[in-house]
Chains A and B, each alone.
Chain A
Amino acid sequence: MTTLEGLAHGLAVALQPSILIYSLLGAVLGTLVGVLPGIGAMAAITLLLPITYYISSEAALVMLAAVYYGAQYGGAVASILLRLPGTPQSAVTTLDGYPMAQQGRAGVALFTAMISSFAGSMLGIVILVLLAGWLSRLATSFGAADYAAMMVMGLVAASTIGEGRMAKSLAMVVLGVILGCVGTDVNSGAQRFTFGQVQLLDGINLVALAMGLFGLAEIIGNIRKAERDGPPARVTLRQLVPTRDDLRRIVAPITRGTALGGFFGALPGTGSTISSFLSYALERRVARRPERFGKGAIEGVAGPEAANNAASITAFVPTLTLGIPGDPIMALMLGALVIHGIQPGPMMLQAHPDMFWGLVVSFGIGNLFLLVLNLPLIGIWVSMLRIPFHWLYPAIIIFVCLGVYSVRGSTFDIVMVAAIGAIGYALTQAAFSPALLLLGFVLGPLIETNLRRALLVSRGDPMIFLERPIACGFLVATLALLIYGLLKRSDRGSTSSKVAD
């Protein structure tokens, strides 16, 4: 199937009324959770995951993906109006978006965020289509050793490029991989770490783990924090109109942000949060008057917003073509695909063209929905920000309980979510990343399978990892990342600590 045929095929899938409705629903829900500080895309997707058991796999993935990129739009609203990032990806938007709002330019900042997000997503789709075909052709020559090495590189990349100290990040990844071992071993049938519990035979439930780590831990941390000083300013449609000077200023940052986000999104292990930080740093570096940044520079909103949306689209490249999720949200998407009996990987383009091309086209349609809806609806989103968190979180807790219960009617899983939630919150407070734990949990079993397979092929000779050029290349890159992580220390902390204040 050529790209054009694929797109035509995808259009036929994505334009089905039921798919359109789920795309719209996902986009609106995503914006909503993005706007409301305290519930991220991660929590929203885990909450919706059980519901997707009841709908078709195309509709499910289209909806979950729409929640993901919809949250990027919504996240900017809270960042600009309240200096409270609705999602981690939009944290950097607070730096210049909030000063713009204080100067009475909230409307222009919101317009910039939305148009940049849209442009970033659309260009991201082009990159996705070009890269996915190429990568899936390349990936057919991958062997088990190459897969194992690539996944190890992805995990190490996520640990070293992200925030925080490397030892702590790597420890979370390893802990996640260990949790992934729980359950029946596929190769030998041995029950590992089940301690006689029947409920653990299938392993720890992905939904329970993600809901505990993200849903609950986020709620606990936000109950006190989310109380705000005052209601946000009102924004009218007229205020959204940018000046000619504004428009001239945002074109280049959008282009640069998209290129950056498109590239980093497609690499396994780096995600949209990192892309938005890098884009901000880049814009400040190329600016003629860098001192404007942090005081309401429109470029500081346009670049990162384009970058994080482009990255969230191209993040599907390694997930769909290699079966390797680059970030925890993609790990959940992978989980959702597997639940629906679809194994992502090099064969996916051929084996499930409906899914692949339908998803690609739905990205475009969903983003169009977001742009068309969100500009006029901005007043509604702003008024959403007035709902105090204490009205919301008890209801969210109920949704968490019912969502987990619905997966397999087990109250054991609810109790497990409670325990995981407490641990997840404690880990966050001690500056450990629960997101990396989830990434390790999803990739761990895949690494073990491929490792075993590779060693079986080589008759137990570990040199197979160095003799195959692809595997060796990934391992050299892993080593380079580890050295980079050791040298880095905390020099990148400057931008991120500013956001945290």
Chain B
Amino acid sequence: MRRDLHDLGWGAALALTGLAVAGYAFASYDMGSLRRMGPGFFPVTLGLLLAGLGALIAVPAMGRPGRPRPFAWPETIAVVAALLVFGLALDRLGVLLTTALTVLIASAVAPRRGLGWRLVLTVAVTALVWLVFVRGLNMSLPVWPGALR
């Protein structure tokens, strides 16, 4: 029997998230009373609600054929990697080198192959960042490696 694995998986994940939120909030925060709601009251209620909704999504999905949905793995990985590199390298390499690196990583998964156009784009975007954000807006950014302004 085929199953709607997407909904089953997501429903279960949401239900577990809900239970975790409710459990954590119940254990860590004061529930208070209806008259004076403590910080735990709202999250516990919401966690239980999410758990219920997750179950509502997952249970019917068990007896229902699902549609395969494409997932753009390479694109997801490249875009996430590009951001992580930007976030982690900015303070060490400065904005210009970081930008160049990020553009090269992000453009690696473009449908158009080849390095030539990517180098052109890298130079163009880096120049744009220098012109607009460093010179134009005078944003407080580390520009070069080790040179915090």
Contacts and interface: CB of A to CB of B under 8 A. Distances in A.
A394 B37 contact: no
Contacts of A452: 37
Interface string B75-100: 11001101110111011000100010
Contacts of A406: 139
Interface in A161-208: 165, 167-168, 170-171, 174-175, 177-178, 181, 185, 187-188, 190, 192-193
Nearest to A388: B112
Contact of A459 (B18, B35, B84, B111): B35
B42 A456 contact: no
B79 A220 contact: yes
- What DSSP secondary structure best describes chain A's contact surface? helix
A397 B83 contact: yes
Given A178-B43, A397-B83, A402-B133, A390 B111 contact: yes
A430 B69 contact: yes
Contacts of B121: 391, 394-395
Contacts of A181: 42-43, 46
Given A190-B30, A452-B37, A430 B102 contact: no
A104 interface: no
Interface stretch (A129-137, A230-238, A359-367, A418-426): A418-426
Given A167-B53, A411-B87, A397 B79 contact: yes
B27 interface: no
Given A178-B50, A421-B83, A398 B37 contact: no
A417 interface: yes
A216 B83 contact: yes
Interface of B: 6-7, 10, 14, 17-18, 21, 24-25, 29-30, 33-39, 42-43, 46-47, 49-50, 53-54, 56-57, 69-72, 75-76, 79-80, 82-84, 86-88, 90-91, 95, 99, 102-103, 106-107, 109-112, 121, 125, 128-129, 133, 137, 139-141
17 contacts: A192-B29, A193-B21, A216-B79, A219-B79, A224-B72, A224-B75, A394-B103, A394-B106, A398-B103, A401-B87, A402-B129, A406-B139, A412-B87, A425-B72, A429-B69, A455-B34, A456-B35
